[in-house]
Amino acid sequence: MRKLRIDSKRLGTIAHYIGVISEYFIVIFLSVWLNRVLKIPSLFTFSFKVAGLVLTAFGLYLISWCCWLQFTLGQGTTGFSEPTKKIVVSGPYGSVRNPMMTGHFIFFAGIGFLFDLGAMFLIMPIFILAIHTFTILIEEPNLEKRFGQEWIDYVKRVPRWFPRLGRTLNGTGGKQS
């Protein structure tokens, strides 16, 4: 029988993903609890719940796509213990620098609509502020240190959170030179 060995890097990655999944449960359960404590009435109609299902599915799709790109093109993971070896600039990363976090926000908004959790929309601004602060203070300086000029050029071309309308990755707005 072969023994399964897990090195410290892989263990760090496993811990990272357990933390991410725990974050989902914490935010959702906190929303359910706050909904009950604050006695938030039912706010969303059937059409909102359908939209919530679509948003939840799209958020999960975007998160999964980003993880796949990080693993295949970036040759690493989203965790700090096994970071990508290459910067990923294609797919959703060609439109915004943080599409995975955008996927998280879309997912949580979808859950809020789907399960009629008005409290989710009280928690989300705090969650978004925490992620934004982490991105600016920790993640982006780390990426600049790791990828240097390639990262600096990418930052100049691609916005952090919201895509620029009418612009392509090369910044020409669709015009060919």
pLDDT in tens, 47-94: 999 999 999 999 999 999 999 999 899 887 777 667 889 999 999 999
Residue 81, SS3? coil
- The closest alpha carbon to 38, from 119, 135, 99, belongs to 119
**CA of residue 95 relative to chain centroid, distance:** 14
Q: What Å distances lie between residue 107 and 111, 141, 166, CA to CA?
A: 6, 27, 26
Average pLDDT in the chain: 86
On whether the pTM is more than 0.95, the answer is: no
* Rounded (5°) CA angle 171-55-109: 95
DSSP secondary structure code for residue 95 in this structure: T
| The predicted structure's pLDDT at residue 173 | 46
| The predicted structure's pLDDT at residue 166 | 66
Amino acid at 92: P
| The predicted structure's pLDDT at residue 97 | 93
Amino acid at 55: L
